[in-house]
Structure formats: structure tokens, C-alpha cells
Amino acid sequence: MSALVAPSILSADFNHLGKDIEMINRSEADLIHFDVMDGVFVPNISFGLPVIQHVNKIAQKPLDVHLMIVNPDHFIEPFFKAGASILTVHYEACPHLHRTIQLIKSFGMEASVSLNPHTPVAVLEDIIEDLDMVLLMSVNPGFGGQQFIQNTYKKVSQLRALIDSKNPNCKIEIDGGVNFETGKKLIDAGANVLVAGSFVFNDKNPEEIISGLKAL
């Protein structure tokens, strides 16, 4: 069963972003992944609403927006207006996660929660039935091109069991250090959406890499 593939533009060429988006449009990619970082929740600043607004004008794939920010409630409507189809907030940044998820869904977006590597899957026990997707971080959030954290495979299996028992349509997205080797093992463990940034954009033929991830 092939996974959905979501290239992360964090590793794209920002001097020619339109060219990279056109490549994604032509490719077998299913989503375009945006890693929004505020320099507070994570020790890095990436990009924000203007980038998503402009990409939305030329994108032919749904926008999968990953908010690595504090106080995400303040930005749910703006990212909806910018064109987000899936909106991911971090469990660790949401003291009222149930309300946040309801707010995301009230705009018609798919609601997703991300867990940092140290956060156990069990914390989702009482919210899993409200989710369209769970994003498991397989690196510490903040930078592309990092080493894959091996404990992620165990978390995927745990999450797959929780989802199969309570919300079988909920997707499992993995973000960080995804390549052909980790991607295959992640799918075997139960993941069905793969985010890849550096593995795609550091290659001379990114379209081929995307097809290779689709073929896993």
C-alpha cells in the first residue's frame, strides 16, 4: 500500500520557489508540506503567511501546513485564508487542544496534531477520534537534514494500534529524515504519509525521488 508523499519546501530553492512548486505540481507528490517555524516553539525561524499565500496561487496539490509555533489558535483563520487544506498544531503548544481542533475543523480544514520525539502516543487517547491526521516528528523540530530518530518506528506501531481501534481513517504522517530506507520501514510499521525535504530537494532529480517514495 503506497503512502501519500508530501515534499517539504523547507529545503527548496527560495531563489526559485515557483520552479520548485511547478516541479511538485508535475510530480507524483500528493501534498505540499510547509514547515512554519516561529523561533520560539522551535529554535529556528522559517517562513509564514506570505509564502503560503503566494504558493497557493500556483499550487495544484493541497497545502499541508505544519505549525511549529506557540499560540497556534491565533493563526488558524489566517492560514485557512492563505489556502491551507490540512493544518497541524503541536500537542506541546496547545493547552486547550480539543478547542483548537474544533476551531480548525470549523473552517473545513483537516485537523492534525504533531508529537515531538519525546511525547508518547498515549497522550492522544482522548482526542484521536477528532483527528484527521497525526504527524509524528522523527527528528527534533526546527531544521531539515537531521538524523532520523529510530524510536519513531515503535511510536508508529503504537499509533497504528490506537488509530485502528478508535479512528481507522486517521492518517499517520512522518516528518524528518525520511528517505527510501526509513520510508519503507515506516510504511511497514503503519505510516501512510511521508514528508521529505532534503531527500527530495538535495537530489539532482527531485521528481524521481518523489516517484521512488510513492513506489515504496
SS3 content of the chain, % helix, strand, coil (to 5): 45, 20, 35
Binding-site member from 67, 93, 111, 195 for ligand DX5 (CB under 6 A): 195
Asked if 80 interacts with ligand DX5 (CB under 6 A), we say no
Binding-site member from 20, 30, 35, 92 for Zn ion (CB under 5 A): 35
Binding-site member from 12, 198, 209, 213 for ligand DX5 (CB under 6 A): 198
Q: What is the DSSP string of 82-112?
A: HTEEEEEEEGGG-TTHHHHHHHHHHTTPEEE
Give catalytic status of residue 35 as yes or no: yes
Asked if 176 interacts with ligand DX5 (CB under 6 A), we say yes
Choices 17-25, 98-106, 169-177, 184-192 (CB under 6 A): range interacting with ligand DX5: 169-177
Asked if 142 interacts with ligand DX5 (CB under 6 A), we say yes
3-state class of 33 per DSSP? strand
Choosing among ligand DX5, Zn ion, none, which partner's interface includes residue 79 (Cβ < 5 to 8 Å by kind)? Answer: none
